[in-house]
Structure 1
């Protein structure tokens, strides 16, 4: 589902510039910033780098092929 939102011209320009560097769409860049900001707000004592690496690890786990683990 997508929703149209209004953002400032300044924020749109910053997202456009950063999205080129990060090889994301402008929308994906804004979603990334929102996700990081939400996680930081919910976990104020965690450093940015920890939040970023945790979100990256979660995305990698989601996209990785799954296989059954055999003990022993």
Structure 2
């Protein structure tokens, strides 16, 4: 594990988003980095397509959860 220095404003955005998504600051930053890496490697995929792919790789069917929102 290492330390990443980021701008104070971005850190505040990570903190806010993490609170909304019930993630720690580190977990939120890691999520954004992971999705960003996948998006850069697959520029034709939308965010929703990336998330469906991640759910499938985890063995979850996202359609099963759509009615809970």
Provide structure 1 residue ranges, at least 5 long, that are not aligned to the other structure: 63-72
Larger radius of gyration between Structure 1 and Structure 2? 1
Q: Aligned equivalents of 2:55 and 2:19: distance in 1?
A: 19
Q: Aligned equivalents of 2:34 and 2:55: distance in 1?
A: 11
1:54 Cα deviation from its structure 2 partner: 1.2
Comparing both structures, which one devotes a greater share of its residues to helix? 2
Partner of 2:47: 48
1:36 Cα deviation from its structure 2 partner: 0.5
1:35 Cα deviation from its structure 2 partner: 0.6
Partner of 1:67: none
Provide the alpha-carbon RMSD of the alignment: 1.5
What number of residue pairs does the alignment pair up?
Answer: 60
Partner of 2:2: 3
TM-score normalized by structure 1?
Answer: 0.76
Partner of 2:20: 21
Moved over 6 A (4+): none
Q: Aligned equivalents of 1:56 and 1:12: distance in 2?
A: 27
